[in-house]
Amino acid sequence: MYSQISFQFNKIMRLSFFSRVPVLSIAGACLNIIVMYKNGGKMPVRTKYLGETGKKYLASSSLHVKMAEDTKCKILGDIIPIRNYVYSIGDILMLVSLGLVTASLIEETLRPNAG
């Protein structure tokens, strides 16, 4: 089984840059879907690091719920604090994917034409 996973990983890494980037975004979305599925369609949020704005948003959100003892897949929930909000591993993967696409498009735009 390990060799099959290794083969698939190597296959993905041989793809062109633009083919690999969506893999990060899809993986991030899948992680978010998994944790929400396991928690009744809601994204668990660790409120310890939330600022006042984040707490107000959480109170009014129908897609988020405060993380509790019985929360499943806590590691995949919104647990990574950045400023006054918290993000999930899936969110970070999707943001990295977006950043890589943006950076590569800017680089292509600024690169002088070879010819």
- For 19, counting Cβ atoms within 10 Å of its Cβ (0-12 exposed, 13-18 middle, 19+ buried), the class is exposed
User: Model confidence over 67-98: pLDDT tens digits?
Assistant: 999 999 999 999 999 887 899 999 999 999 88
Q: Which two structure tokens, joined as six digits, stand for 115?
A: 């010819």
What Å distances lie between residue 15 and 6, 32, 95, 107, CA to CA?
15, 25, 20, 19
- What is the pTM (predicted TM-score) of this model? 0.74
- Mean predicted confidence (pLDDT) in 1-13: 58
What pLDDT digit, counting tens, does each position of 27-70 carry?
999 999 999 999 999 999 998 888 787 888 888 889 999 999 99
